[in-house]
Amino acid sequence: MHESEIFKFIKHTIMSSFTVQSLAIVSCFVVVAVLAGGEDSSETAMFPAMFVFGDSLVDNGNNNHLNSLARSNYLPYGIDYAGNQPTGRFSNGKTIVDFIGELLGLPEIPAFMDTVDGGVDIRRGVNYASAAGGILEETGRHLGERFSMGRQVENFEKTLVEITEMSRPESVKEFMAKSLVVVSLGNNDYINNYLKPSLFLASSIYDPTSFADLLISNFTTHLLELYGKGFRKFVIAGVGPLGCIPDQLAARAAPPGECVEAVNEMAQLFNSRLVSLVDRLNSDNKTTSEAIFVYGNTYGAAVDILTNPFAYGFEVTDRGCCGVGRNRGEITCLPLAVPCAFRDRHVFWDAFHPTQAFNLIIALRAFNGSKSDCYPINLSQLSRL
């Protein structure tokens, strides 16, 4: 049996590390080894489809079609992706949802903008994520066109029309209820809104607590819209430790080895409310009968990696692999820039985004991790409900 690409990548990561990998990573390696080599089919996939709503952490090419400064369809983005070519993913290789899809037995799902002219298979899911997009409509406006969460929900409605036209009503209902929804939004509402007071008014109107409340209120509205369309299985990623990304380390001149705690505290305010929202939705049987909402603790997993980098095979945690200036984070990765040589040893690819190696670990923890990684259950458990 030939090793799959993901199997080879995990083996390479483990073998190239200078220290023994953590027990958690070894156990995750076993999980993937079992899955490696299997071809996708409707019989073996753990969900019939996956639908993704998010920002640049999971955008797989939507912004390629928009008039936006937030684009990554040029090298060295994609240098480690299949074919060593850029796709619009904001990484040197695969995103978290790429790896999640592989773990679930699903094929690569198309970007929504690649489906608008037809001729693209949408039966296994669609990715609506948009770089610079946020929960709030105004987030990221200084970067040009982007799809906010509200716009992404509207785009999904167009897909749903197509799905409905090709299926019986009862089969559409079952398909929607069994499909997986992944939502990863909120990061830009801070780094491309609240934390840019010269461009946005949010920080002069709201304190961090009230801003987190505003985000959760808007987020809840859009999430329930998706529930109203028929989805029943949701994974909602928290905001990461934004005070540790190269952009914020550079902008706020953080001392070596330290993150910007004030920014991390803002992220935690949002995340704590997101956990409460998940609890509320899961307990509100009148609103969400037969639905399950899962919180993906990307913040906790990222902090664990940043605190114990050598245990995961990383050596560089405070600067981008591709970028310019302090922490290689003042100017993000430019066209034809020369990135670092040992990319799987870096946590961060550019000023804002992690490397493929980091994305793989987060995906594995979401797939088979403990309640501290995915609450109240992980993706493997969710697939069996």
Q: 186 CB contacts (<8 Å, ≥6 apart)? A: 134, 135, 215, 219, 238, 239, 270, 274
Considering 17, 55, 56, 184, which one is annotated as catalytic? 56
Residues 337, 306: Cα–Cα separation, whole Å: 25
Phi, psi dihedrals of residue 198, rounded to the nearest 5°: -75, -15
Q: Is 148 marked active-site? A: no
Per-residue pLDDT reduced to its tens digit, 65-112: 999 999 999 999 999 999 999 999 999 999 999 999 999 999 999 999
Per-residue pLDDT reduced to its tens digit, 41-75: 456 899 999 999 999 999 999 999 999 999 999 99
- Cβ 133 vs Cβ 185: under 8 Å: yes
- Cβ 35 vs Cβ 379: under 8 Å: no
Residues 371, 36: Cα–Cα separation, whole Å: 25
pLDDT at 44: 86
How many residues does the structure list for the chain?
Answer: 385
Q: Is 56 marked active-site? A: yes
Q: Is 284 marked active-site? A: no
What residue ranges of the chain have pLDDT lower than 50? Answer: 1-4, 6-9, 11-41
Residue given tokens 């603790």 in the structure block: 297
Burial of 1-30, coded b for 16+ CB within 10 Å and e otherwise, reads eeebebbebbeebeeebeeebbebbeebbe
Count CA within 13 A, CB hemisphere, residue 11: 8
Handedness of CA 125, 128, 131, 134 (dihedral sign): negative
pLDDT at 168: 84
Q: C-alpha dihedral over 173, 179, 180, 185, to 10 degrees?
A: -50
Considering 80, 114, 350, 373, which one is annotated as catalytic? 350
Please compute Rg for the chain using Cα positions.
20
Give all domains of the chain, ordered by start, each with its CATH number: 40-383 (3.40.50.1110)
Residues 178, 47: Cα–Cα separation, whole Å: 6
- Take residue 62 and report the two structure tokens written for it: 């939507």
Handedness of CA 321, 324, 326, 330 (dihedral sign): negative
pTM here is 0.91
